[in-house]
Chain A
Amino acid sequence: MYGGGNTFEAIKAEGLEEEDARKMAEFEGRIAQGEKIEPDDWMPRLYRQQLIRMIEQHAHSEIIGALPEGTWITRAPGFRRKLALMAKVQDEVGHAQLLYSAAETLGKSREEMLTDLINGKSKYSNVFNYPTYTWADSCIISWLIDAGAIVNQMANSKGSYGPYCRALERICAEEAFHLKYGHDSVVYMATGSSIQRQMVQEALNRWWSQIMTFFGPSDKLSVHTETLMRWKVKMASNDECRQQYLDMYVPKILELGLTIPDPLLKKNEDTGQWEYTEPDWDEFRRVINGDGPCNAERLGVRRMAEERGAWVRLALKNPTAKYVRPLA
């Protein structure tokens, strides 16, 4: 589990007032009662668009996120770590398949999504535009990036769209081991030799600002955000997720004798809120729009897979086949 829960572009909502008022009331009534929306139900255009974008970006984050971790499989220290990392990366790619299918039920085909990814039209989690220099970087991703994704996912699995909930339920079940594996691999290094400790500390220093941007910039409560929250598309604000994450993981990092590279990070006991140095959101925007250390590599590898696999798809193609979207 690598992403999910937030989209990286501003919400564009047009035509909400053109929606059928009676159908809208029925739709909102269903969600207010805690009933799920299924693919054949009427839904407002904004709901459909926003869900497609969110699930699609989540799917992209899974296949792209598999690259910086997958690169360490051959160099993982020992057979046990190799087996576990292979299984984890396989899970992530499987999650992408589940998520693409869930997005397809809303009417966008898998081919369109993959083309949009390669052409930069749709995004993936920005943290994967950064490289993994050492084995310790891959351990930090497995533990602390996955942990961030889990915070998002647990919230989203209570959302209103049936197919996304079903996919997330399976994903969360498979994920349970990723977090434990990641924690184990970081603990192993952090309690090891001084060289191991140094390696893991340096990796944490490299990844901390990415971790802090993982949930996206602070989202001021706009009318649209409120609408999406009422529709249970967005389940928590970016800041709420970040606060929850810091509550859960800062103590676990500190107990290993590691330091967090932010001198301002502390919990304000009066407000109950974490205070921290605001991450560099200009860099975040620059990188997500293409100017990061690994953007070209990630999309280049994805594009190569697509182009060099074209003949296989062509050879297997059934000329009488017609596209049918998945059912649920």
Chain B
Amino acid sequence: MSLKSLDPRINRLNLPDGEQPPMEPKAAFDQFETYEVFAQKRDNTPFTYAGPVHAPNADVAFLFAKEQYSRRSACSGLWVVQTRHIMVSPYANDDECIYDTFKVEIPEHTAWPLESYEVFHLKKRGKAHTHIGRVGATSYQEAYHKAKQAFAAQHPAVNMWVVKSKNVLQSAEEDRDMWLTLPEKKYREPAAYKVLDRIKSFKEKQQKALNK
């Protein structure tokens, strides 16, 4: 006996009917690694944290990110970073700045050349991390100190993320046309649905019928 549904497509699946044995728990890591996505809404605005995706590699992560985070709203660029490549500071209270509350050892400056690191700030708990700038350093610790010197005074933050620039997969300038079709999909906007006139004329018709 297979499961009966109102939907013929489900009937064609021939799903088993009746009680099923429970599904075995999966291995701790059955699926994909996580990536964090940053989106830029308009040219010359900072990249802002959009959210995570799960993917088997960076290219697929990019495709998922594009669907998940730039399908519905304006976008001019995307950055995708594997979660494990992001160094996270502790969180400060909203009335504090993380650079005042959190100390790391200043590393001996030994290795050259400098590598580029991207710095993201969380201005307030519950908001989203925003790209604040780039520093050159030879380690995450050094990047943290450089970020403190460069940004702490003008941009207080309750949390900061640092990631090596080379670990950020960035959308290419020539691929921007992938977002060009967004404005064509008006049926996804609330403004595309205007019901008031229809309701009004319906009510008038009913009123007329009553009056007769």
Contacts and interface: CB of A to CB of B under 8 A. Distances in A.
Interface of A: 30, 33, 35-38, 40-41, 71, 80, 83-84, 87, 90-91, 94, 97-98, 101, 104, 109-112, 115, 118-119, 131-133, 162, 165-167, 170, 173-174, 176-177, 179-181, 183-184, 187-188, 190-191, 255-257, 296-297, 300-301, 303-304, 306-307, 313, 316-318, 321-328
Interface in B24-65: 25-34, 36, 49-54, 56-57, 60
Contacts of B211: none
Contacts of B198: 187-188, 191
Contact of B188 (A87, A104, A304): A87
Contact of A300 (B15, B84, B90, B126): B15
Nearest to A183: B195
Nearest to B86: A327
A257 B13 contact: no
Contacts of B25: 112, 115
B188 A177 contact: yes
Contacts, number: 176
A258 B2 CA distance: 38
A166 B128 contact: yes
Interface in B185-212: 185, 187-190, 192-193, 195, 198-199, 201-203, 206
B72 interface: yes
A328 B129 CA distance: 9
Given A118-B23, A191-B202, A327-B36, A317 B188 contact: no
B15 A36 contact: no
Interface stretch (B3-11, B109-117, B148-156): B3-11
B188 A321 contact: no
Contacts of B28: 109, 111, 323
B173 interface: no
Contacts of A300: 3, 15-16, 20
A184 B198 CA distance: 9
30 contacts: A40-B88, A71-B9, A80-B187, A94-B68, A101-B34, A104-B52, A111-B27, A111-B29, A112-B26, A132-B6, A133-B6, A165-B126, A177-B188, A177-B192, A183-B193, A187-B198, A187-B202, A190-B202, A297-B5, A300-B3, A301-B10, A313-B31, A317-B31, A318-B56, A322-B33, A325-B34, A326-B36, A326-B83, A327-B161, A328-B49
B128 A323 contact: no
A116 to B, nearest CB: 9
A101 to B, nearest CB: 5
B100 interface: no
Contacts of B177: none
Given A111-B30, A301-B13, A180 B193 contact: yes
Contacts of B129: 328
B64 to A, nearest CB: 8
Contacts of B201: 191
Given A133-B6, A303-B23, A321-B29, A35 B125 contact: yes
B51 A173 contact: no
B32 A316 contact: yes
- Nearest 10 A/B pairs, CB to CB: A36-B126, A326-B52, A316-B56, A180-B193, A36-B125, A191-B202, A184-B193, A300-B15, A180-B190, A119-B22
Given A326-B34, A326-B36, A170 B71 contact: no
B54 A110 contact: yes
A327 B52 contact: yes
B57 A318 contact: yes
Given A191-B202, A328-B129, A83 B187 contact: yes
Contacts of A109: 28
B91 interface: yes
A176 B90 CA distance: 35
Contacts of B51: 98, 101, 166-167, 170, 326, 328
A297 B56 contact: no
B181 interface: no
B125 A38 contact: yes
Contacts of B34: 101, 104, 324-326
Given A35-B126, A256-B202, A327-B83, 5 more contacts: A40-B88, A104-B52, A190-B202, A321-B29, A328-B128
A173 B73 contact: yes
Contacts of A303: 20, 23
A327 B23 contact: no
B93 interface: yes
B174 interface: no
Contact of A257 (B27, B90, B188, B202): B202
A35 B93 contact: yes
A300 B50 CA distance: 33
Contacts of A323: 28-29, 33
